[in-house]
Amino acid sequence: MSTPVTEKGYQGAMRKLAGLQARLADLRKRTDLHPNHRLDVELSYIDQMRQYLRDIQLYETRHGLPLTQIELPTAQSATAPE
């Protein structure tokens, strides 16, 4: 069981989620990364986004706020060059 999110934690999670969305968009534009490395980073960002969204929605539920609804991205497929 996790500790309830505070108002400050909620605002921080919202900022961090927005930041990760921007970082993921920037990452997907890059062509200088090995495909496997890029995939690992994408998966890490998406996992963090899922965790922040869970905390945000828990706070919203506890405080009777409308739930933030975003569609979490999926990792773009990547294969290593042969």
Q: Tens digit of pLDDT for each residue in 54-72?
A: 999 999 999 999 999 988 8
Q: Please, what is the angle between helix 35-62 and helix 7-29, to 10°?
A: 160
pLDDT at site 76: 79
So where are the chain's domains? 7-62
The reply to whether the predicted model has a pTM over 0.95 is no
Question: Tens of pLDDT along 1-51?
Answer: 467 789 999 999 999 999 999 999 999 999 999 999 999 999 999 999 999
Q: Torsion over CA of 48, 54, 60 and 63, rounded to 10 degrees?
A: -120
